[in-house]
Structure 1
Amino acid sequence: MPYTPTPPPLGLSGLVAAVTGGASGIGLATSRYLARLGARVAVLDIAPDALPAADQDTLLPVRCDVSDDTSVRAAVADVVDRLGALDILVNNAGIGAQGTVADNDDAEWQRVLDVNVLGIVRTTRAALPHLRASRHAAVVNTCSVAATAGLPQRVLYSASKGAVLSLTLAMAADHVREGIRVNCVNPGTADTPWIDRLLSRADDPAAERTALNARQPTGRLVSAEEVASAIAYLASPAAASVTGTALAVDGGMQGLRLRPEGA
């Protein structure tokens, strides 16, 4: 018989969420958003001490290195031990990479794919027994517009996010009959600490930021909070019939083709 979920109350009250890479950027914004909706939230991060002091009363910091299976399994077990369950998993941890196909050696390819792709595999694999026991199980992966649009100097990062998109669809098919929904968000260029570090290395940071703003039809970078709200929707009961979906939060970057202003 097909699985028929029992709709839980609106909001996330009574649910437990874990957010990887949750101590900064999109992950921190997501952790805060889920907590405001009533979830108890664990922040899984390689540097949990980076969680702002103001958030430590509402968010549970847990050390987790997504490139290490032992660390991942220990972190998930700690979350369940301390919070009693795991209903929502946000696979947000990731690292960036620049350059053409000729610019990174095998070791760098392996490092980025290990974090961005296998990191999701490890965390989801460890979480699955607990998600199967949930009355409202949701997995949301942080993907990227780089998975669906060809961006210059981003070949390694794009390859990793293309894999995340395919992984999301396959996981959604595998687990839908277990009552586990799997979706991803595809942000455009988001205003995060990683972008700040990238801009700081540019010859002209102001000009580079202007170019990044102009690349998105809205004329500005996506905020971390905007991505967080999309993740929260996909994780919530409001999206109970949404699975296998990639939700673009990119200021129109993927789908719009605007004429130059004045043309």
Structure 2
Amino acid sequence: MANMDTADWTSAIDLKLPIAVQAHAWIKRAILTLELKPNEALSEKELSLKFGISRTPVREALIKLADEGLVDIFPQRGTYVSPIRMPEVIEAQFIREALETAVVRKAAQTADSAFKSRLVANLAQQKAAVADERLADFMQLDELFHHAMSDFCNLPRGWRVIQNVKGQLDRVRYLSLPHPGHVSQLYVQHEAICEAIGAGDVEVAVDHMSHHLREVFKSIKELMRDKPSLFA
């Protein structure tokens, strides 16, 4: 496993809250940001020691990550971070686009002033993150921007479906962030989506969202060429 500061892992767990949920979120974040790299071995014992918790919640977290396609569990052989598998990336993007274009359609049809203000405030934070080149912060704000629409439309299970399928896709998204101009382009696309929602222009909002969600494909060939060890 990667050489990570044990204190950082231990402090991540609040024993007053569901432990397996927190372990899952922490390990998932480490996988998505490539702190834990594809094909890296994962040890229940080592993870439990790093978190300062028992092995049971770690096992539960790893099983859930396996369901999300981010971990491969081989009986008698061990548990490993999954490589990035292009068929799963493509499928995840397809599912995400189908759901999020439907969500943005509903959002554009029903947006109120409070929701519009929420998106504008998020965009202001995105703009600052782009200017300061805070890529990790931008990705988090990107997630909040998209989540805000499902939240406004009262579609929490729809958002959970999106989260459960897009793990492989998120690793490609994260790898794409440092490419020159990429984050700025994503911000401009978010701004266009927000403007269409604000104007109640449903079809334009849907078109902008569809175009935005396909942006990830522009960098995949380059990533596969430059970082072949990360892909299946």
Q: Under a length normalisation based on structure 1, what TM-score does the superposition of the two structures give?
A: 0.24
